Structure 1
Amino acid sequence: MTSAPPASPLPPECARLVETLRELRSRSGLSLAALGSRTPYSKSSWERYLNGKALPPRQAVEALCRVAGEHPGRPTALWELADAVWSGRAGAPSAEPAGGESAGEVQEIPDAHGAAEAAEAVGGAATLAPAPPVRPRTPAGATASGAGRSARRRARARHLGLAALGALVCAGVFALTLALWPTSGEARPARETTHADKASQADQPDKAEKREKVVVGCRGAECTGRNPVQMRCGAGETPRTLRTVRTEGRTLDIRFQPRCGAAWVRMWGQRVGDRVEIVTPGVKAQREVIDDAYETGQRRSTPMAAVSPSATGEVRACLVRKGGGRTCFGPGD
């Protein structure tokens, strides 16, 4: 693994990988410390990977996909591209034939026109490496040893040309596959609704409504301590915001999802050392601790606490600042 990052700013291939890793980490709902305990890589290692300071090993990308419930195909494909750029292999010049050159010998070059057409056929994802220079033809009277060396050089040049063409075709196919690879959460084009569809939905409104609803992952007491994003309690039917409080640059929302029967606090603008709690009647307080700088730059949520719709007025949220200071509020304050 390359420890030193490429020159700033990050190349597009590396930036796309970092962005994808951050999305997976956010989807997992895990802090960097929790991520370090769930994978073979430490909290400090994840901080470097997620901030683009170091290229993660391929195994780290696969481990993050497992904890986030994501198929590893697209993230590992992005890792392959980032690794080629990070290590410098993507920009390495083509190797020249070994051995000394004799003045006046002929060296054939690869068919650059054919290679360019092959690259264009697969999407133009790669560019041709510069062809070796053309040498003047061997003058009459050249020695037999010089002719033998020239033949060997021509054979090596042909082999290099074929290898370069094969690499270009493989790179193009790989880029085309990556472009067509389905990603989680991508919207599919909607099919045009026909008159028959409209009539069917009018006859069966309940079934049409059920198809549009998102199936939540928990209800009531089983939601306590669970992540609202992973349980899809924040998707589909919009959760209710019971109260919003802004204090010292922080914004905190008390959220309630009737279908899950649970409440939580959503926050942004938080600072290192903040502790945010959600308290509901008869349920142990659930809290989220901001323990590193990475967690201050994204929206975070506490675990959920079960609550019935009739008791939402008794829900309380508390912000405990590092070094002291506690602010609590509820829907009726």
Structure 2
Amino acid sequence: MTRTTPSPERARLAAALRDLRARTGLSMVGLAERTAFSKSSWERYLNGKSVPPRDAVRELCRLASEPEGRCLALWEIAESQWSGRAAPALRTDTPAQAPSAAPGPIPPEASAPAARDDTHAGRRGAAVAVLASVCAVVVGGVAMTLFLVLGQDAPRLSPSASPSATGPRCRGAACEGRNPMDMKCGIGPQTLASHRTASGAMLELRHSETCGTSWARMWDTRIGDRLEVTADGRPRSAEVEDEADAEAYVYTPMTTTGSGTVVRACFRRASDGKEECFESRVR
């Protein structure tokens, strides 16, 4: 359900991107001709069916002569929700509230006239509960947006500092083999290198200075495609397992890296098993 119906985070991003496209006056074909992304990809991005790559957002901002800050902040939020799969508790808390409000509007099957007051009270209680939930979501969204927009320029935490509620959940060796989105190392990372494969898949090597780790990610992939990242002989790999993966980012687990470490990524196509590799050095 969450894959077919855009989440609020994806819906906000898609609406902002549609507004930018309207300002450019370009059709989907025109966008495909002026960017590195296909017509079908842009249709998915603008309809909120999948989260676009960061570079797609930047290219659309450039075409619309729009500063990148706001859209990239919306993109960070949408990507964390979409590909993070990182906070299942956040996604399950909201639906769990629905049953508590549902009994209010349902009238008793055979109640006395006095029961009408209880029904109206239940409706008022349900309305209050819904309003409170909406307010909480709005406040949370605004807080996260401010963090992403304003917090990117804040001083980095020292390695000795303990992870905060909004910062990374691990550092260094403690991150080895962990998911970068789960550990919040995927917020504001450095892109070491990018590569487009012969099959059209996009690959990136990423590095978090705060976490002291690197990883790779892929998108525009096919089921069975595989990506492996290696640094100092420690391989970490990920595979596209289903259609949902093929339409989203797929991340390898993290490996510990530092300044000067050479990070290598190898992509193996499911169609013929051929492998393409590229590498970069942590700066």
Specify the TM-score bucket, using the shorter chain as the normaliser. 0.5 to 0.7
Work out the CA distance in 2 between the residues paired with 1:262 and 1:277: 15
Corresponding residue for residue 74 of structure 2: none
* TM-score (structure 2 length as normaliser): 0.54
Question: SS where residue 182 of structure 2 aligns?
Answer: coil
Which residue number in structure 1 is paired with residue 169 of structure 2? Answer: 217
Q: What is the 5 A alignment of 1:13-92?
A: 26-29=83-86, 68-70=88-90, 73-78=93-98
Residue 210 of structure 2: SS of its match in structure 1? Answer: coil
Candidates 274, 293, 304, aligned match of 2:254: 304
Q: Does 1:241 align with 2:191?
A: yes
1:79–1:165 CA distance, 2 compared to 1 (3 A): closer
User: Residue 267 of structure 2 aligns with which residue?
Assistant: 319
Q: Residue 268 of structure 1 is aligned with which of 195, 212, 219?
A: 219
How many angstroms apart in 2 are the aligned matches of 1:186 and 1:264? Answer: 28
Secondary structure (helix, strand or coil) at the match of 2:116 reads helix
Count of aligned pairs: 194
1:320–1:244: structure 2 CA closer, same or farther, 3 Å change rule?
A: same
The 8 Å contact of residues 74 and 183 in structure 1, kept in 2 or not, is answered as: no
Separation (CA, whole Å) in 2 of partners of 1:217 and 1:242 = 22
> Which amino acid in the other structure matches residue 224 of structure 1?
E
User: Of the candidates 201, 209, 220, which is equivalent to residue 258 of structure 1?
Assistant: 209
Identify if the C-alpha distance between structure 1 residues 190 and 268 changes in structure 2 by more than 3 Å, giving closer, same or farther.
Answer: closer
Deviation at residue 304 of structure 1 after TM alignment? 0.8
Write out aligned runs for 1:139-158 (5 A): 156=112, 158=113
TM-score after normalising by structure 1: 0.47
SS for the counterpart of 1:291 is coil
Question: In the TM superposition, what is the alpha-carbon distance from 1:211 to its structure 2 partner?
Answer: 7.8
Contact 2:239-2:250 within 8 A present in 1 as well: no
Give the one of 150, 159, 164 matched to 2:119.
164
What is the CA–CA distance in structure 1 between the aligned matches of 2:269 and 2:144, rounded to whole Å? 46
Q: 1:188–1:254: structure 2 CA closer, same or farther, 3 Å change rule?
A: closer
- Residue 329 (structure 1) aligns with: 278
Relative to its length, the structure with more strand (as a share) is: 2
Query: Structure 1 23/233 Cα, relative in aligned 2: closer, same or farther at 3 Å?
Result: closer
Residue 326 and residue 221 in structure 1: after superposition, are their counterparts in 2 closer, same or farther (change >3 A)?
A: same
Question: In the superposition, relative to structure 1, how do residues 294 and 80 fare at CA in structure 2: closer, same or farther (>3 Å)?
Answer: farther
What are the superposed Cα offsets for residues 216-264 of structure 1, whole Å, 9 maximum, x if unpaired? 33333332211111222222xx322111112223211111122322211
The equivalent residue for 2:237 is 287
Larger Rg: 1
Structure 1 residues 241 and 91: alpha-carbon distance in aligned structure 2, compared to 1, 3 A threshold? same
Aligned Cα root-mean-square deviation (Å): 4.2
Query: Secondary structure of the equivalent of 1:74?
Result: helix
Change (3 A) 1:190 1:309: closer
Percent identity between the aligned chains? 27
Structure 1: unaligned runs, 5 residues or longer: 30-64, 98-154, 192-207
State the partner residue of 2:75: none
Matched position secondary structure for 2:232: coil
**Structure 2: gaps of 5 or more residues:** 12-48, 50-78, 147-153, 159-163
How far apart are the structure 1 equivalents of 2:145 and 2:80?
25
CA distance in 1, matches of 2:100, 2:239: 34
How many angstroms apart in 2 are the aligned matches of 1:264 and 1:321? 19
